[in-house]
Amino acid sequence: MSRLRFDAVEAAFSKKPLEVRMDERPDKYFARNVFDRAKMKEYLSAESYDRMVRVMDKGDVPDATTIEDVADAMKRWAVSRGATHYTHWFSPLTGTTAEKHDAFIEPDGNGGVIETFSAKLLTQQEPDAASFPSGGIRSTFEARGYSAWDPTSPAFLIGHTLCIPTIFVAYTGEALDYKAPLLRSLRAVDSAAVKVCSLFNPDVTRVHSYLGWEQEYFLVDEDLYMARPDLILTGRTLMGHESAKSQQLDDHYFGAIPERVAAFMHDLEIEALALGIPAKTCHNETAPNQFEIAPIYEECNLAVDHNMILMSLMKNVARRHGFRVLLHEKPFKGINGSGKHCNWSLGTDTGIQLMAPGKGAEDHLRFITFVVNTLAAIYRHNGLLKASVMSAANTHRLGGAEAPPAIISIFLGSEISSVLDHIENSDNFNLKGKRELKLDIPQIPELLIDNTDRNRTSPFAFTGNRFEFRAVGSEANCASAMIALNSAVAQQLGMFKADVDALMEGGEEKEFAIVKTLRKYIKFSKPIRFDGNGYSDSWKKDALGRGLDCETSVPLIFDSYLSEETVRMFSGVKVLNESELKARNAIKWSTYTKKVQIEARVMGDLAINHIIPIATGYQTSLLDNIIKMETLLGKEEGDRLSKENIETVTAIARNVSDIRRLAELLIEKRKVANLIPDVREKAVAYHDEVAPVMEEIRNHIDELELMVDDQMWTLPKYRELLFF
């Protein structure tokens, strides 16, 4: 009954599958649903088109006429594609995306309607900001928050709705979302990197940050999912004994993709391509029923939007195939969790990949300069980088057997390491002429780098022409990590340039000034370099000795956002001010609390209403059997033959009684925690007091799962969820 009703609601919301003809090739339907440059060219006047190109490529501000023209063009294009509504699409701090759909129709004054879309509606709207977390930036009586058009990310169509990417800010200008600070951080790294590039390539006028994400996820059969209230309400299994077979055979990674999954992937890929997401790779991941989709990298802001679009797309497409997609970082205990590796690099408007070794010695010095500055930035802000990827869910994944620990370090590979060591240790640069200096830095052949042995255990690895940030969680908005990374690198590049300038003002030649400054930062950032096994226990001790941030408690990890260093850095590069940072942390802490609270409630309900009745039901049937055996064979003989059953009855009784006691305790702990007024302290209490009790309850439930009659156990087990 309830299932039926659920389906009806879902059907009403689920979006119609995209229709692509059998003979259509990807180059034909790529970006079909995007108001991209080709459509702008077709629908805009020549002047407006040229202006928009400058807006997108050079960061110009669009003028009123252009905006008017764009609004009208967007509407005409969208309507020609059957759209009836539009929405400002934004990323509030809830971590998901928000949209409020409005129809294009307006009264025409004669009792009818016309479809219009004005510049005003395109540029700015006022969603009910009170419904989104603001961390106290906006007091409740001042509920104003604005969404404002981001002309650098193209509008797109989903179903009958034209979606316009926007930032979301308070009326005071403070950011209430991820996109506003992301754009600021991209501007910061752009301007700092251009200044550093001026030492090498004065013709560079813009530096872009690039992002290529790899989205991991699990698929679960929809009917099984529906029978797991914990999956429905928390996104992960709160209980479940390990399956006899899980991932020990390593037979899933890159294995043959099951037909039903392949059909899902095929659909997903087509829809992603039609939305301009350059989906390229789809494959099985390590764990059973775990998969990955990765597009070709793009400019960071666009890549972030594309990832947010893809995550909602996946959910819709999965339902059409009778699956549910799990984006939670650790849906199943004991097997791999899901991450979202973020491949990051910088590149210039003149086509230089700044994180790739170039051809000549000059290129090479530039490459080393950007690598070393990245090292220094990450070292200085390693606690912040970790905080930027941390969440109630990702904490279960980091430090598991499959993911990097909750310590940020960088893998460089032997080639780059030896170049850095060489620069660090040779102090004869001053004695040599310019020519020798150039020759004295060992060159790294491009090919060699591409083949560097990749250290899969590193949370932040150099992989040939980019860095790969692997600690990011599968469900996260990657903007959070990208804001921290780009801002930290922007700050560091600024410091580097200032140091080089000072040396040059003191009469030092440019190359010497650069190498001297590099040497300083190579020494400074040494503790962040680690090429060993990040999963090993010895690394945890080593890292502590190096002074790296080794905190594991989520609420305390968030403290890094408010450290003096962080506040100085973010305000220095004009990405987030102190009040924005405080507000964001308040949201982080309260989100953490709420997530654990929901899990604790679901755990309590399941334990008391599902598990205990099932376990006692089975216990009763055993007792019944024992008594009947006694009746038939006499007490002594009956009990002798019922020995195992009697033991099981006792074991069930013990577990049930422990579960009851712990469920009570869980409620007590919550009551105490809920009275704590301070958001941070409350989150700490949820972490220290509430979460551990849930783990204990789980252990008892998992034990019961092994004892109780399989027929009576109503929750689908791991072996079913993971192997269909």
The answer to whether residues 393 and 329 touch, using CB atoms and an 8 Å cutoff, is: yes
* C-beta of 306 vs 670, nearer to ligand ADP: 306
Number of residues that bind ligand ADP (CB under 6 A): 15
131 interacts with, out of ligand ADP, Mg ion, none, CB within 5 to 8 A per kind: none
Q: Please report how close the Cβ of residue 282 comes to ligand ADP at its closest, in angstroms.
A: 10
Please pick, from the candidates 49, 264, 297, 539, the single residue that binds ligand ADP as defined by CB under 6 A.
Answer: 297
* C-beta of 308 vs 583, nearer to ligand ADP: 308
Q: Phi and psi dihedrals of 400, rounded to 5?
A: -70, -175
Q: Which of 311, 330, 294, 326 is nearest to 217 (CA)?
A: 326
185 interacts with, out of ligand ADP, Mg ion, none, CB within 5 to 8 A per kind: none
Is residue 294 at the binding interface for ligand ADP, with CB under 6 A as the rule?
yes
Q: Please report how close the Cβ of residue 462 comes to ligand ADP at its closest, in angstroms.
A: 11
* C-beta of 445 vs 634, nearer to ligand ADP: 445
CA-CA distance, 19 to 635, in Å (whole number)? 72
Binding to ligand ADP, residues 358-377 (CB under 6 A): none
487 interacts with, out of ligand ADP, Mg ion, none, CB within 5 to 8 A per kind: none
Piece in contact with ligand ADP (CB under 6 A), picked from 11-19, 129-137, 295-303, 436-444: 295-303
Q: Which amino acid is at 305?
A: D
* C-beta of 352 vs 679, nearer to ligand ADP: 352
Tokens for 44?
């805009």
Binding to ligand ADP, residues 194-233 (CB under 6 A): 210, 212, 214
Contacts of 708 (CB under 8 A, 6+ apart): 614, 615, 618, 652
Is residue 296 at the binding interface for ligand ADP, with CB under 6 A as the rule?
yes
Burial of residue 598 (number of CB atoms within 10 Å: 0-12, 13-18, 19+): middle
CA-CA distance, 391 to 504, in Å (whole number)? 45
Q: Which of 181, 121, 183 is nearest to 146 (CA)?
A: 121
Piece in contact with ligand ADP (CB under 6 A), picked from 149-157, 341-349, 398-406, 701-709: 341-349
Is residue 91 at the binding interface for ligand ADP, with CB under 6 A as the rule?
no
Is residue 460 at the binding interface for ligand ADP, with CB under 6 A as the rule?
no
Give the distance from CA 600 to its chain's centroid.
24
Q: Which of 409, 594, 392, 557 is nearest to 476 (CA)?
A: 392
Binding-residue pattern over the window 416 to 455 for ligand ADP, x denoting contact by CB under 6 A: ----------------------------------------
Please pick, from the candidates 345, 457, 480, 642, the single residue that binds ligand ADP as defined by CB under 6 A.
Answer: 345
Distance between first and last Cα of the chain: 24
SS3 per-residue string spanning 80-149: HCCCCEEEEEECECCCCCEEEEEECEEECCCCCEEECCCHHHHHEECCEHHHCCCCCCCCCCCCEEEEEE
Block residue for tokens 């599902």? 610
* C-beta of 62 vs 358, nearer to ligand ADP: 358
Please pick, from the candidates 87, 166, 301, 343, the single residue that binds ligand ADP as defined by CB under 6 A.
Answer: 343
Binding-residue pattern over the window 264 to 293 for ligand ADP, x denoting contact by CB under 6 A: -----------------x------------
Q: Please report how close the Cβ of residue 186 comes to Mg ion at its closest, in angstroms.
A: 22
Burial of residue 223 (number of CB atoms within 10 Å: 0-12, 13-18, 19+): exposed
Q: Please report how close the Cβ of residue 356 comes to ligand ADP at its closest, in angstroms.
A: 7
3-class SS at 281?
strand
| Secondary structure (DSSP) of 396-425 | HHTTSSSS--SS--EE--HHHHHHHHHHHH
Q: Please report how close the Cβ of residue 513 comes to ligand ADP at its closest, in angstroms.
A: 28
* C-beta of 344 vs 521, nearer to ligand ADP: 344
* C-beta of 211 vs 683, nearer to Mg ion: 211
Binding-site ranges for Mg ion (CB under 5 A): 341
Question: Per-residue b/e over 145-174, b at no fewer than 16 CB within 10 Å?
Answer: bbbbbbbbbbbbbbbbbbbbbbbbbbeeeb
Binding to ligand ADP, residues 155-184 (CB under 6 A): none
Please pick, from the candidates 465, 560, 566, 655, the single residue that binds ligand ADP as defined by CB under 6 A.
Answer: 465
Q: Please report how close the Cβ of residue 214 comes to ligand ADP at its closest, in angstroms.
A: 5
Q: Please report how close the Cβ of residue 212 comes to ligand ADP at its closest, in angstroms.
A: 3
CA-CA distance, 198 to 200, in Å (whole number)? 5
Q: Please report how close the Cβ of residue 548 comes to ligand ADP at its closest, in angstroms.
A: 24
Give the distance from CA 351 to its chain's centroid.
28
Secondary-structure percent of the chain, ordered helix, strand, coil, rounded to 5: 55, 15, 35
* C-beta of 30 vs 618, nearer to ligand ADP: 30
The total number of residues shown for the chain amounts to 724
Q: Please report how close the Cβ of residue 532 comes to Mg ion at its closest, in angstroms.
A: 19
Tokens for 402?
């499959």
345 interacts with, out of ligand ADP, Mg ion, none, CB within 5 to 8 A per kind: ligand ADP
The answer to whether residues 457 and 535 touch, using CB atoms and an 8 Å cutoff, is: yes
294 interacts with, out of ligand ADP, Mg ion, none, CB within 5 to 8 A per kind: ligand ADP
The dihedral through the CA atoms of 575, 581, 587, 593 has a sign that is positive
353 interacts with, out of ligand ADP, Mg ion, none, CB within 5 to 8 A per kind: ligand ADP
CA-CA distance, 314 to 292, in Å (whole number)? 11
281 interacts with, out of Mg ion, ligand ADP, none, CB within 5 to 8 A per kind: ligand ADP
Piece in contact with ligand ADP (CB under 6 A), picked from 153-161, 241-249, 343-351, 663-671: 343-351
Residue with nearest beta carbon to Mg ion = 341
Binding site for ligand ADP (CB under 6 A): 210, 212, 214, 281, 294-297, 341, 343-345, 353, 465-466
